[in-house]
Structures are given as structure tokens and as C-alpha cells.
């Protein structure tokens, strides 16, 4: 099997970190986003959305979307159980993962599209709306405060054990910090503690 990847994009990193936590090695194929390789007819045949990551199985089946790829690997390599070990854990992890994606990552994505990096590297591809960025910046910081409160009640984002939620949230916040200039405030001590723990895990280097 092959994982179609790009080293600085947050979504492929979410899969790489997950695989590192599982101890799984997969062949990786770099797709140059700057050269628009993800928009070629050959790649669109693998993912009609023209996005990465894509996991191509040996029989040619292509699985797209970061969470879907991680769920595939969880099903064939169930330990450690990063999607939960019982029905309650599975439901709570799924709940928190959806919140992270639909609320935090969506806001960060809006700020990214309307921010200076995209204006430089993808000039003309998007109509930028400063007002939308202001709103999504505020929404991101509001969600950081929420995470800080929740991490005052438990060790990890979905409970007291590391899960796929922590892996994916780390990648999303790192991207926000490095590429969108949306770092959590220093006074969010619980979130800061969690981030230090995430960065210390070997999988963070994936």
C-alpha cells in the first residue's frame, strides 16, 4: 500500500502521527501541492476532491480523508486502541474528534484561506475576505480557551488516555501556530501543559 503525502500539510501529518503511535510503516509518495500535482487527472482518479492524504491499497482501492484512513488502520491493527476500547470510549472519542474538526479546524482553515501565507503562495486562487478572517481568528482563540478548561478536568482531550483526538488536535494546532499565526495564549496553562506532553511523544516527529 501507499500513502500519498506532503510534508508540511496538516492532514497527512495527522495520519503519519497516528501510524507512528501504532508502529506501522507505510510507503509514502510525495505529492507536490505547490506544483498542483494533486489536481492532475491521474491524482483526481484516486481522489475526486483533489486532496491529500490518500491511502492506496494493494488492490487499487483508494481511501481518502484522514480520519477514514486512521479508522482503516485501527481496524486491522487494533492495539493500541486509539479510537477507544469500549462503546463509551468510542462514542466520546468520536464526539470530541468531530468537535475538533468541525469547530476548531474549520475556523483555522478559514483563517488560513484568508491569511497572508495563502495570499503569497496561492495568489489569485481565493478571494480573500478580511472580515471572515477576523471572525475565524476569534473563534479559534475561543476554542483554545474551551480546550484549556476541558484539560483542567482531564489529562487528555477525550479522557485520561491518549487517543486519536490528541494526535489530530496536536497537528491542527501546530499548523495554526506555524502557518496561520494562531498560537494559543500563554496563560492557557492546561493547554500549554498538554502541548508540551504532545510534543514530547516520539510520534510528534512523524
> For residues 63 and 150, is the Cβ–Cβ distance under 8 A?
no
Tens digits of residue pLDDT in 106-132: 999 999 999 988 876 666 677 889 999
User: What is the tens place of the pLDDT at every residue in 8-29?
Assistant: 999 999 999 999 999 999 999 9
The pLDDT value given to residue 123: 66
Model pLDDT, residue 127: 84
Would you state the pLDDT for residue 99? Answer: 98
- For 48-92, what is each residue's pLDDT tens digit? 999 999 999 999 999 999 999 999 999 999 999 999 999 999 999
Query: What is the CATH architecture assignment of 87-205?
Result: Up-down Bundle (1.20)
Residue with cell 472580515: 131
- The pairs formed by 185-194 with CB atoms below 8 angstroms and a separation of 24 or more are 185/141, 185/144, 188/144, 188/145, 188/147, 188/148, 189/148, 190/147, 190/148, 190/149, 190/151, 190/152, 191/144, 191/147, 191/148, 191/151, 193/151, 194/147, 194/151, 194/156, 194/157, 194/166
| pLDDT attached to residue 93 | 98
pLDDT at 43 (0 to 100):
98
* Percent of the chain topping pLDDT 90: 93
Neighbour count for residue 136 (Cβ, 10 Å): 23
CATH code reported for the domain at 2-76? 3.40.30.10
**Number of other residues whose CB lies within 10 A of the CB of residue 182:** 20
pLDDT at residue 118, rounded to an integer: 80
Three-state DSSP at 163 gives: coil
Stretch(es) of the chain classified as CATH 1.20.1050.10: 87-205
- pTM score of the predicted model: 0.94
Instruction: Round the average pLDDT of the chain to a whole number and report it.
Output: 96
| From-to residues of CATH 3.40.30.10 in the chain | 2-76
Amino acid at each position: 500500500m501507499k500513502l500519498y503525502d506532503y510534508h508540511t500539510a496538516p492532514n497527512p501529518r495527522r495520519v503519519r502521527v497516528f501510524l507512528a503511535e501504532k508502529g506501522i510503516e507505510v510507503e509514502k509518495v510525495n505529492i507536490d501541492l505547490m506544483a498542483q500535482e494533486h489536481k492532475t487527472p491521474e491524482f483526481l482518479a484516486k481522489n475526486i476532491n483533489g486532496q491529500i492524504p490518500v491511502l492506496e491499497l494493494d488492490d487499487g482501492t483508494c481511501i481518502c480523508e484522514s480520519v477514514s484512513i486512521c479508522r482503516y488502520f485501527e481496524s486491522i491493527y487494533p492495539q493500541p486502541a486509539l479510537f477507544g476500547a469500549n462503546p463509551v470510549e468510542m462514542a466520546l472519542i468520536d464526539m470530541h474528534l468531530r468537535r475538533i474538526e468541525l469547530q476548531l479546524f474549520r475556523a483555522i482553515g478559514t483563517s488560513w484561506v484568508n491569511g497572508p501565507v495563502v495570499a503569497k503562495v496561492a495568489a489569485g486562487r481565493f478571494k480573500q475576505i478580511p472580515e471572515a478572517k477576523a471572525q475565524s481568528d476569534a473563534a479559534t482563540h475561543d476554542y483554545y480557551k474551551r480546550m484549556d478548561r476541558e484539560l483542567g478536568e482531564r489529562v487528555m482531550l477525550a479522557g485520561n488516555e491518549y487517543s486519536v483526538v490528541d494526535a489530530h488536535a496536536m497537528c491542527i494546532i501546530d499548523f495554526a501556530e506555524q502557518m496561520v499565526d494562531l498560537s494559543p495564549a500563554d496563560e492557557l496553562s492546561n493547554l500549554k501543559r498538554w502541548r508540551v506532553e504532545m510534543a514530547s511523544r516520539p510520534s510528534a516527529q512523524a
